Amino acid sequence: MRQRVAIAIALLHRPELIVADEPTTALDVTIQAQILAEVQKLCAETGTAMIWITHDLSVVAGLADDIAVMYAGRVVEKGEVAPVLDMPLHPYTAGLIGSVPSRNKRGEPLKQIPGMTPNILRLPPGCAFRARCSRATEVCKQEPPFGEVAPGREVRCFHPLFPETKGEAA
């Protein structure tokens, strides 16, 4: 209830933008769904834009228009929600989506991204995802640029996962 009140207070003065950091974490799924529906309705009514920071891809899929996937403090992929979730181009995004339990068949082990997130205070040179990425090559020791690789799709990667290369993903 306190989280609902906090969201209501945030919307009270009809701000142009709200940044909501994991606002529904620790809520049960039913309450979370109610809050998401309320927030969507209120934002549509007031014209408020919202940046919703979350680890929950189902929330993203149900709520957002656009998604920016972050790794080690930087945006690594950006685009409209449906194309990014349906066809991730960055290996980290693909790993995240691949590790959602419901995508596994019954009896199969859960998929996971190997390795650990690097210490953000001591990031290695080049691509921060390099130690965990099956597509890493020599060039990945350099800083990958962030740019448009397909219409409406921005990625920070030297070897984005276009459909013809999906079989090489982590």
Q: Which residues contribute to the site for ligand SF4 (CB under 6 A)?
A: 91, 127, 129-130, 133, 135-136, 140, 144, 157-159
Comparing CB distances to ligand SF4, the nearer of 23 and 95 is 95
- If the CB atoms of residues 63 and 140 are measured against ligand SF4, the closer one turns out to be 140
- 167 by Cβ neighbours in 10 Å (0-12 / 13-18 / 19+) ranks as exposed
Distance CA 50, CA 69 (A): 16
Q: Which residues of 23-39 are buried (b: 16+ CB within 10 A; e: fewer)?
A: bbeeeeeeebeebbeeb
Least separation, in Å, of the C-beta of 65 and ligand SF4?
25
In the complex with ligand SF4, which residue's Cβ is closer, 67 or 157? 157
**Three-state helix/strand/coil letters over 20-55:** EECCCCCCCHHHHHHHHHHHHHHHHHHCCEEEEECC
Instruction: Please identify, using beta-carbon distances, which residue of 52 and 129 lies nearer to ligand SF4.
Output: 129
18/140 with CB nearer ligand SF4: 140
**Closest to 139 in 3D by CA, of 149, 130, 152:** 130
What minimum distance in Å lies between the beta carbon of 127 and ligand SF4? 3
> Of 169, 23, 11, 10, which Cα lies nearest the Cα of 97?
169
Least distance in Å: CB of 134 to ligand SF4?
8
Contact (CB, 8 A) for 46 and 38: no
CB of 156 to ligand SF4, least distance (A): 7
Q: How far apart are CA 41 and CA 32, in angstroms?
A: 14
Q: State the nearest-atom distance from the C-beta of 159 to ligand SF4, in Å.
A: 4
